[in-house]
Amino acid sequence: MSVPAPSTPQLQTPQTDRQGRRISFCLWTIFSLCALSAIALFFIPTFIIRPFRYQAPRALFLAMSLRQRAPLGTLIAALTCFVLAFALWRTASRWRKALLTLTLLVVTFSAVVARLNYFEWMFHPIAGPQFLAQADSKLDPKEMIMSVRLGGDARAYPISQMAYHHILNDVVGGVPITVTY
Amino acid sequence: MLHFYLAGINNQNFLMRDRETGTWWQQITGKAIYGPLQGAALDLVLSDELTFGQWRTESPSGQVLAPVAKYTKEYDSNWEPDVAKLPVVISFPGTELKSRDVVIGLTIDGAARAYPWETFAKQSPVLDRVNGTPLLLVLGPDGKSFRVFLRRIDGHDAEFFLQANSSADPAAQNKDWTLLDTTTASQWNFQGCATSGPAQGKCLARIPALKDYWFDWRNYHPDTTVYKR
């Protein structure tokens, strides 16, 4: 880590110059660490919990613990990054400015997506489930359904629909259930 | 009351989280595997996998989940054969079955057993015993629905067999489809209730069972046995 030589060295004592370098070095280090944390908090769980990939038990545990902390963690890290980038901006060279900008973009992306559930972009949840009397259903009699009967209420969940939405929160006969496929 | 949402995937069995605590739950077990409620487990609600036709005859006042208009194009009636072609990420070479073989899995006092669907469908009704518990696995009149019962009538073990179906009319199949037990010689329907004979009005106790892929069942039940006819 080096800072470009000041353009007017004759005005500064070697003492303050060295101090300035040290402070700048510290700020850059903290910036890098914060940026790495924000990126890791989002990308490591995303990478581990990929569909069609093997999830080892310890990797899954790591993914869940990072994901659990990601919404708050990425926010703190991203805010710190922005404050530090602001402080470093004036003295930074053109390359460093580009690096700061790029890093801030990736960090912002991590902080935003860590608060979203991208699994629900693929499989949209059913917001307010509607039900039909069985006589009004256009379902083919050969189609498979999952069914429950609770407190005298019978409900059918067509598998073709559940295989897409995967999960549904419902209350049947007063019992709160979650239907999964 | 908790509300669950899809949150990830663990070797092709999904992970859900609840909005209230953020705890992570495994779909197949209903167990909280990480987070504030770790160690807790959801109660399993008895459910069926039936054809709509079968369910309709049993539940005249039942309600059906309506399709969401926005996503009807995404629904895939051919889902099962399509998924069967997808790759798997865990496999158990050297076990009796192939990864995507469909099984009926059940657990009796901790002892798990898998019934290969092909074997079951050919042999139904299947009479078996797991951990001393006498079981009846039966394929429905539609050839697609299934149920598992405790084959015990008033405390006595019973054997069941399918009464020959004389009707060729599919509409009458459900009505004519009958099981007979050898203990009381009563007639039983697919809901496990005696419709005539000395046991009339009695119903067999249900056993929860899961239709699953072999790799998934075996992954969560490493000590499972496999039914052989």
Given a contact cutoff of 8 angstroms between Cβ atoms, the answer to whether B9 and A51 are in contact is yes
The token duo for B159 is 């054997």
The radius of gyration of chain A from alpha carbons, rounded to an integer in Å, stands at 27
Who wins on pLDDT, B21 or A20? B21
Q: What is the pLDDT of residue B173?
A: 59
Whether B16 is covered by a domain: the verdict is yes
Same domain (yes/no): A81, A152: no
Average pLDDT over chain A reads 91
Q: Which domain holds residue B26?
A: 4-34
Same domain (yes/no): A92, A147: no
Whether A123 is covered by a domain: the verdict is no
Task: Note whether B6 contacts A137, CB cutoff 8 Å.
Answer: no
Residues B133, B113: Cα–Cα separation, whole Å: 12
Residues A177, B206: Cα–Cα separation, whole Å: 19
The token duo for B61 is 């006042």
Give B139-153 pLDDT, tens digit per residue: 999 999 999 999 999
Please list, residue by residue across B127-153, b when 16 or more beta carbons sit within 10 angstroms of its beta carbon and e when fewer do: bbebeebbbbbbbbbbebbbbbbbbbb
Q: What is the pLDDT of residue A122?
A: 86
User: Cβ contacts (< 8 Å) between A52 and chain B: which residues?
Assistant: 12, 86-87, 89
**B219 secondary structure, DSSP code:** H
What is the least distance, in Å, from the CA of B23 to any CA of chain A?
Answer: 9
Least reliable range by pLDDT among A144-158, B93-107, B174-188 = B174-188
Q: What is the pLDDT of residue A19?
A: 87
Residues A151, A154: Cα–Cα separation, whole Å: 8
Picking from B35, B48, B89, the nearest residue to A53 by CB comes out as: B89
Task: Note whether A175 contacts B45, CB cutoff 8 Å.
Answer: yes
Considering only alpha carbons, which residue of chain A is nearest residue B32? A64
User: Cβ contacts (< 8 Å) between A146 and chain B: which residues?
Assistant: 47-49
Average pLDDT of the segment spanning A33-43 = 97
Same domain (yes/no): B19, B106: no
Residues A52, A86: Cα–Cα separation, whole Å: 42
Give this prediction's pTM: 0.88
Residue A171 bridge partners (DSSP)? A176
Average pLDDT of the segment spanning A104-133 = 93
Same domain (yes/no): B16, B62: no
Residue B48 bridge partners (DSSP)? A147
Q: What percent of chain B has pLDDT over 90?
A: 81
Q: What is the pLDDT of residue B183?
A: 94
Say whether A4 sits in a helix, a strand or coil.
coil
Whether B77 is covered by a domain: the verdict is yes
B229 has a pLDDT exceeding 90: no
Average pLDDT of the segment spanning B105-124 = 97
The token duo for A39 is 């990126």
Average pLDDT of the segment spanning B184-210 = 96
The token duo for A113 is 């997506």
Whether B39 is covered by a domain: the verdict is no
CB burial of residue A127 (10 Å; 0-12, 13-18, 19+): exposed
Average pLDDT of the segment spanning B69-74 = 88
Domain boundary among A88, A116, A144: A116
Average pLDDT of the segment spanning A42-56 = 94
Q: What is the pLDDT of residue A145?
A: 97
User: Cβ contacts (< 8 Å) between B14 and chain A: which residues?
Assistant: 166-167, 180
Same domain (yes/no): B18, B125: no
Whether B43 is covered by a domain: the verdict is no
B188 has a pLDDT exceeding 60: yes
Residues A58-66: contacts with CB under 8 Å, at least 24 apart = A60/B10, A61/B34, A63/B8, A64/B8, A64/B15, A64/B24, A64/B33, A64/B34, A64/B35, A65/B34, A66/A40, A66/A41
B168 has a pLDDT exceeding 60: no
Task: Note whether A154 contacts B42, CB cutoff 8 Å.
Answer: no
The token duo for B75 is 């629904």
In chain B, which ranges are E strands?
A: 4-10, 13-18, 24-26, 32-34, 48-51, 63-65, 102-108, 111-116, 126-130, 133-139, 146-150, 152-153, 156-157, 160-163, 178-181, 187-188, 194-196, 205-206, 210-213, 225-226
Average pLDDT of the segment spanning A154-164 = 95
Q: What is the pLDDT of residue A1?
A: 47
Task: Note whether B68 contacts A137, CB cutoff 8 Å.
Answer: no
Residues B58, B52: Cα–Cα separation, whole Å: 10
Question: Testing the interface with B: which of A67, A69, A157, A166 to mutate, by most B Cβ within 10 A?
Answer: A67
Q: Looking at this predicted complex, what is its ipTM?
A: 0.92
Residues B88, A52: Cα–Cα separation, whole Å: 7
Average pLDDT over chain B reads 93
Q: What is the pLDDT of residue A6?
A: 52
Task: Note whether B16 contacts A160, CB cutoff 8 Å.
Answer: no
Task: Note whether B75 contacts A169, CB cutoff 8 Å.
Answer: no
B184 has a pLDDT exceeding 90: yes
A–B interface: beta-carbon pairs under 8 A:
190
Q: Which domain holds residue A167?
A: 134-180
Question: Testing the interface with B: which of A55, A62, A143 to mutate, by most B Cβ within 10 A?
Answer: A55
Whether B42 is covered by a domain: the verdict is no
Residues B217, B162: Cα–Cα separation, whole Å: 29
Residues B46, B91: Cα–Cα separation, whole Å: 29
Domain count, chain A: 2
Same domain (yes/no): B96, B164: yes
Q: What is the pLDDT of residue B163?
A: 87
Given a contact cutoff of 8 angstroms between Cβ atoms, the answer to whether A137 and A145 are in contact is no
Whether A42 is covered by a domain: the verdict is yes
Q: What is the pLDDT of residue B220?
A: 96
Same domain (yes/no): B160, B56: yes
Whether B209 is covered by a domain: the verdict is yes
Give B25-68 pLDDT, tens digit per residue: 999 999 999 999 999 999 999 999 999 999 999 999 999 999 99
Picking from A67, A154, A158, the nearest residue to B59 by CB comes out as: A154
**A83 secondary structure, DSSP code:** H
Task: Note whether A156 contacts B55, CB cutoff 8 Å.
Answer: yes
